Structure 1
Amino acid sequence: MHPQTLRQYDREGLVTPTRTRGGGRRYTDEDIERLREVQRLSQEEGVNLAGIRRILELEEETRQLRGQVDDLRDDLRRTRAAADRVFAAGPGGIVALAKGRRPQRRPVSTALVVWRPGSRD
């Protein structure tokens, strides 16, 4: 890519490279990907620089929104999982159960206990 083109893209805000102490531009791998996309849109698609800027802004906004949607889906899954639990009093105290389930009962004892009145002291 011609240095003048790089300067123009920098001036237009399409890419923001870091600078050396001497003012030279340093491009990251992400910057280079972005420059290639700008060049493709300009040369192959015939989009002007204002259009390219808008396309890049919309792509970034879309990326952010997709991240928010993913976060919301995770929150919804956790909320639904929590809503599927019911709390009940079981033999050992309060227990969490799935909807429609009952706490297990303690087995009824069949032991025979004989009580004999004794003398009171």
Structure 2
Amino acid sequence: MDGVDENSPLFAIAVAAELAGMHPQTLRQYDRLGLVRPTRTAGKSRRYSMRDVVQLREIARLSSEGVSLEGIARILQLENQVAQLSARVRELEGALADELLNRPGRRVFAAGVEGEVISLKHGTRTQRRTELMIWTPRPDTDR
């Protein structure tokens, strides 16, 4: 199914309530409290996404553990903020990687003595080793 993802508003309130294991009136209350924000149709009926159903299940779990509705609202707010910030970080990491790869001369590196990769700034060179090692055979003591 093209165009359908976890945020697509698919379920009427009765179906979403059944999927979440709740009464439809509970879903209406959670909507009024802002715990879940279903999409509205032109006729003002609620449509819930799979993400909304998962969130309703999480609300039920937290409630059964004794967390108040205010506490649940704060937890959900913080989880949503973390998800948004994580998405933004991934977006910025991608943009940075693209920028670094597309700049000419920015992918400069050299191999070290042990075979390790050494990153270099653009326009710099590695330091060459200039030591000289002299090898002299040991005299045979058996002759």
User: In the alignment, does 2:99 pair up with 1:79?
Assistant: yes
Q: What TM-score do you get using the length of structure 2 for normalisation? A: 0.50
Q: Which amino acid aligns with 1:78?
A: D
Deviates more, 1:64-73 or 1:76-85: 76-85
User: In the alignment, does 2:86 pair up with 1:54?
Assistant: no
Q: Which amino acid aligns with 2:69?
A: L
Q: Which runs of 5+ in 1 are unaligned?
A: 87-98, 101-121
Larger RCO (CA under 8 A, 6+ residues apart) = 2
Q: Which residue of 2 aligns with 1:105?
A: none
Residue 3 (structure 1) shift: 3.1
Counting only pairs closer than 5 Å after superposition, residues 24-103 of structure 1 correspond to structure 2 as 24-43=45-64, 45-81=65-101, 82=103, 84=106
Query: Matched residue of 1:60: which SS?
Result: helix
Q: Which amino acid aligns with 2:62?
A: L
Query: Matched residue of 1:15: which SS?
Result: coil
How many percent of aligned residue pairs carry the same amino acid?
Answer: 55
Q: Which runs of 5+ in 2 are unaligned?
A: 1-21, 109-121, 124-143
Aligned length: 89
Q: What TM-score do you get using the length of structure 1 for normalisation? A: 0.58
C-alpha RMSD of matched pairs (Å): 3.0
Query: Matched residue of 2:84: which SS?
Result: helix
Contact persistence 2:38–2:49 (CA under 8 A): yes
Q: Which amino acid aligns with 1:2?
A: H
Q: Deviations over 1:29-52 (max 9, x none)?
A: 222111111111111x21111111
Q: Which residue of 2 aligns with 1:8?
A: 29
Residue 77 (structure 1) shift: 1.8
Return the alpha-carbon distance in structure 1 between the equivalents of residues 54 and 92 of structure 2: 29
Q: 1:64 to 1:24 in 2, by over 3 A?
A: closer
Return the alpha-carbon distance in structure 1 between the equivalents of residues 40 and 100 of structure 2: 49
> Which structure features the higher share of strand residues?
1
Query: Matched residue of 1:46: which SS?
Result: coil
